Amino acid sequence: MALVEYDIDLVHSQLGFSVVHLMITRVHGVFTKWGGTAAIDHDDPTRSRVAVEIDAASVDTRNAQRDGHLRSADFFDVEHHPTIRFESQRVERDGDDFRLTGDFTLRGVTHPVTFAVAPAGPSKDSTGRARIGYRCTATIRRKDFGVSWHAVYDGGSIVVADEVDVVLDLQLIPRG
């Protein structure tokens, strides 16, 4: 079977992240402006590919002050690096799931990142149109991408952990 091109249903997909704050709880956020492409070979998924582009300024953690700080040079530096990107390089089977490895670019720095990918579906929507889904999860180290802002409060509480969990819930619709 050939590669099947898919559009991302942005209404039913989400790109989010979470990071430990003060060593006690996770702060969650999403990006509200993003998109990408997917091409999947259902007979040989290792031939599949995915690319995602994110508007870094669209970060939303439900706190305007924190979002402003995340847009600043301390974190995403959206003035100089408005886009975050991921482009797959390799897909490998992992039991019933997959491992998707690709180039992740943040603040102009590119490193390989591997996502654990769990498929869902297929299913059909109310119009009978086919859909498939994937939950993609990875952990990145923000310092690997030059995001080194750091603060420690009295008593030793670290304000923001270095490891950031990234979650991409994709619902895909065949193009055409």
Domains of the chain: 4-174 (2.40.128.110)
Predicted pLDDT of residue 1: 61
| Contact status, residue 30 vs residue 14, Cβ threshold 8 Å | yes
Tell me the β-bridge partners of 141. 163
Measured in whole angstroms, the distance separating CA 118 from the mean position of its chain's CA atoms is 14
The model's pTM is: 0.93
**pLDDT, tens only, 145-154:** 999 888 777 7
Task: Report whether pLDDT(158) > 90.
Answer: no
Residue 23 confidence class, pLDDT cut points 50, 70, 90:
confident
142 pLDDT tier (thresholds 50, 70, 90):
very high
